Each structure stands twice: as structure tokens, then as C-alpha cells.
Amino acid sequence: MLQGHYTVTSIGPQATAHLAQTMTLLNMNSEELLQHLESELAANPALELESERRCPNCHRILRPAEICPVCSQRKQEADGEPVVFLSPMRDLYHDRSGSRIQQDGDEDFEDDFRVQEENLATYLLKQVSGDLNGVEHQIAEHLANNLDENGFLTISLFEISRYFHVPVTAVERVKSLLQRCEPLGVASVNSTEAMRIQLEMLADVMEIPPLVNLVLADGMEFLFQRRIADLCERFDMDDEDLQEVIRFIGNNLNPFPAHSHYGSSRQPVSANVNVYHHPDVIFHFLNDDPDAGLAVEVMMPYVYRPFLNRQFKEAMNNAPEEQKEEWQKDHDRASLLVKCLQQRAFTMLRLMQFLAKNQDDFILHGDKYLKPITRASVAELLEVHESTISRAVANKTAQLPNGRIIPLSSFFSRNLNVRTVLKELVDHEEKPLSDSMLVKELEKFGYSVARRTVAKYRSMEGILPAHLRKASRKYHGNSNAQFQPSQN
DNA sequence: CTATGGCACGGATT
DNA sequence: AATCCGTGCCATAG
């Protein structure tokens, strides 16, 4: 009954089209939006790019790559609240990304950023293209396009070999080439395989403890299943040796080659999750001055704003009859798109403002300070529909002042703070605390969680069970994507 | 007997 | 409607 009511009173085709398009646009991250825009621009003569570059906020004309000084300043003086502005993402790449990247000590970060400039698949293909012949190119493409968020294959070699009518060995050759690309170990079927590749390459630059080789070659099932006794027995080693092996693996190998910087979830993520590229929003300090307060840039995928082509509009009046209808269609389509883009920008703007204001501790000081907020509550505050927030958050990433890139969805993670406190507890523990002891410790910090839950968090964070943890002896290698240098 | 991980259920979120 | 998350129960290892 409600449904009937809904459809009957719906406000007409334009309005519903508007809604539908706003939603799809909101769902896209800046890269997808860029693509969408480009194809739309190519296909629709009614749409044009402005010739002047303007401040997206106040429409003042700007020099290339300039960020409207007036707007940001005024906003900050007005209420001392976080400044939020729209920012054309291409500019950013030319002018600002460099300095920001280097200020972070994380060596891997630069690599990751390179990956993020284009999508993972094309990045990989570029690397291998020199070594491939005709069919192999296609095979490589197929493989590269069927990776999940962790960089694992989601498609069987057999399937591909059948599809291209080539022997499986041919596919294997391509695969092994891909595996040796950056990020190392990508295109493996699982962590073990990926880590074997990484180890192989690592052997060139540093000495590998012999036991590590053995365990990785033959003992990973045991390690994953935590069958420590079997492991020790098989390789004839004691607890101490095992700790070394585990440390080495933890510090030098990355079980998830393409994993984003966020957390280090051990749980394999289902297929078809998009790989994150460059951030859609950037949190940083005004003028890079930590005292100046937060500023947020929401990436818009264009330098010159798309708008309705005036000449097209005029021409439409004297259009030949038979084309009039078609032109009208183009016109409507274009104006719709422009409106929806504004809508999208507006929504993102408001959401980011909210986040910058409410989660500033999290943004500035790290995971521990995340306030557990739900999308629903934000929706209520901003007076938009829940699904709007969901869409605005989906598939998008944010860059924090310290350079980390995280999915926007982690702003809504309910347990991130508990997990980081847990991590700290374990880091600072005198002797290994069992899960139930951890529960008690956590309670002192005001977190009430069940014993079972602690166990879950532990494994999510990649922390070994208590009886396998000992005083830490660390190896230091150069490739280490797992540990971020908390904050300083 | 204690510590832990697997499975699966129900409630909350999206 | 689909998915995520915290938990309880039970089996197993030590």
C-alpha cells in the first residue's frame, strides 16, 4: 500500500531522474566520476567546460593551481571551524602531493602512491608489457582485472587457459611475471604464495634466516592453523626459534600485497571490492601549520567546471525540426548532470565538515580517538537520508595529515578504537596476557567486550595468541607495510 | 583445567 | 534485504 502511494505521488520523471543520478554520482569516487564526466563530455555537445578556472566555492577566478585564499581565510575567521573546500584533483597532483608525501617517513608510502595514481591493473600491466607477446597481453589483462582488494586472484588459471585456448603453463608464465611486479606478490592465490615470492626477491638484498625459508616453503599451513607443536617438531626448532621466524615474517613480509593502509585485517575480503586509488578527500593543516586548524579538501575530478554550453542553447532555438528533439534531450541531460554534480559536491562538503569537526581527534591523533559514530546518526544530524551518507562514504578514501590513506568508512568503524587500545596493551605487556586477562585490562579503560571478541580482534590485528608471544626480538627489514609509525 | 579458535545465531547497521 | 558485528557454546590443544 505504501508502495502504491509512493509511486502515484512521485514527482514526475525529471525529479526521479534527478534523484537517481544524484545517487549514482554520489556513489562514485573521484576517479570514477572523472571517467564518467569525460565520457559524458565526449558524448554530449550541450555540455562544456568553463574556460576560466574558478574557485568551486565562491566562483572567483583563480590562477591555475591556486586555492582560493579569500574563501578559506574568511571561513576560518568566521567561526574557527574546520575549513572545507572543493579542490580540483588534477591540480593537486601537480603542485601539492609531492611535499606532502615526503614529509612522511614511511618508505612504502611513495610506492603506494604511485600505485594509486592509476588503477592497480594498469599499473601492473605497464610493468609487464615489455615481456609479453600477443595473447599473453590479453591473459595478463585478464589476470590483472581479476584481483581482489588484497591483490589475490579471484579467477582460476584453468578458466583463463580455457578461455584463450592456451595451455595452463602459458597462463602460469604470465602469472609468475605479474607476481614479481610491484607490489611484490600480487596476483598470487593466497598469502602463502605471495609471501614466498616476496621472500624470494628479498633474498637478493638481505640474509634470510634459514628457518624462515623452511617454514615458508613447507610449514605455512601449520602456522596458519597455529599448530605450533607440529611446526616445531617438523623443523626441529624450539620456541625461541619460532619466535624469530614469526617476527621476521611479521616485519618483512606482507601477506596482502595490495592491501590498503587501513588496519591489517587478516580476513580475506570478498571478491570484487574496488582497489583504492588516490584519496577523495584530504585532511590537512591550513598552510601546513599544525596550529592553524584543520582544513579539508574534497577532490573534484575537474579543473574547469562543466556547465551548459550557451551556444548550444542558442542553436537549439533554430534547430532543424527533425533534430530538435534530440538536442533537447542532450540539453536536459546536461543540465541534469550539472545539477547533480552540485548536489554531490554539496553533500560531500557537508559530510566532510561534520567529520572534520567531530572526529578531529581521530584525524589528528590516530585510531585510538575514533568516536564510534554511525551513518544513521550523521544522517539525522545533517537531515539527509541514511542511504545518502552510505553512498557518500562508499568506495572513497581519505588522506590524513600524517599521510595515511584510509577508506572513509573507517570513520564509522565501531570497534577501531577498542582494537587499537588492545594493540597497545599487547605492545606494552610485561608478559603475555591471555584473552580473558585482556578483557579485564580493557575494562579498566572503559571498554566492555567479551572474551571471545578479544580473540577476534587479536586475530584481526595479527597478534598471536598469548602462549606464542614472548619478549619481542625484532628484525628490521626495509619493506614493512604493516606497521605505521603511530603518531609523533 | 585453561586458553583459543570455529561455527553459528541474533541484533544492529547499512 | 543484505551485511556486519559481538557473543555464546563447544571441541580441541596444551
Strand A294-300 to A306-308 pairing: unpaired
Instruction: Determine the protein residue whose CA lies at the shortest distance from the C1' of C8.
Output: A452
Extents of the domains making up chain A = 191-252, 416-468
Nucleotide minimizing C1' to CA distance for residue A449: C6
Rounded average pLDDT over A120-143: 74
Nucleotide minimizing C1' to CA distance for residue A433: B3
Rounded average pLDDT over A406-430: 87
pLDDT (tens digit per residue) in A433-462: 999 999 999 999 889 999 999 999 888 777
pLDDT (tens digit per residue) in A125-135: 767 777 777 77
Residue indicated by cell numbers 572567483: A60
Q: Is the pLDDT of residue A418 over 80?
A: yes
- Position A111 scores a pLDDT of 34
Round to a whole number and report the distance in Å from the CA of A413 to the C1' of C4. Answer: 11
Lowest-confidence segment of A40-49, A162-171, A248-257, A426-435 by average pLDDT: A248-257
Verify if strand C has an atom below 7 Å from the CB of A413: yes
DSSP readout, A250-262? HHH--SSTT--SS
pLDDT (tens digit per residue) in A283-315: 888 766 667 678 888 888 776 778 888 888 888
Tell me which architecture the domain covering A416-468 has in CATH: Orthogonal Bundle (1.10)
Verify if strand C has an atom below 7 Å from the CB of A468: no
Round to a whole number and report the distance in Å from the CA of A154 to the C1' of C2. Answer: 22
Q: Is the pLDDT of residue A239 over 70?
A: no
Q: Would you give the DSSP letter of residue A398? A: E
Round to a whole number and report the distance in Å from the CA of A452 to the C1' of C9. Answer: 11
- What's the rounded Cα separation, in Å, for the pair A210 and A41? 58
CA triple A36-A386-A350, angle to 5 deg: 65
Verify if strand C has an atom below 7 Å from the CB of A234: no
Round to a whole number and report the distance in Å from the CA of A475 to the C1' of C7. Answer: 37
At A116, the pLDDT band (50, 70, 90 cuts) reads very low
What φ, ψ does residue A285 adopt, rounded to 5°? -90, 145
Instruction: Determine the protein residue whose CA lies at the shortest distance from the C1' of B5.
Output: A455
Nucleotide minimizing C1' to CA distance for residue A465: B4
At A149, the pLDDT band (50, 70, 90 cuts) reads low
A194 compared with A343, residue with greater pLDDT: A343
Round to a whole number and report the distance in Å from the CA of A459 to the C1' of B5. Answer: 10
Verify if strand C has an atom below 7 Å from the CB of A239: no
- Position A405 scores a pLDDT of 73
Contacts of A209 (CB under 8 A, 6+ apart): A244, A245, A248, A475
Sign of the C-alpha dihedral computed for residues A210, A212, A213 and A219 taken in this order: positive
Rounded average pLDDT over A162-169: 80
Instruction: Give percent above pLDDT 90 in chain A.
Output: 10
Integer angstrom CA distances of residue A424 from A122, A324, A368, A445, A454? 38, 68, 10, 12, 13
- What's the rounded Cα separation, in Å, for the pair A312 and A305? 17
Instruction: Determine the protein residue whose CA lies at the shortest distance from the C1' of B3.
Output: A434
pLDDT (tens digit per residue) in A203-236: 777 777 777 777 777 666 666 555 566 667 666 6
- Position A39 scores a pLDDT of 87
- Position A203 scores a pLDDT of 75
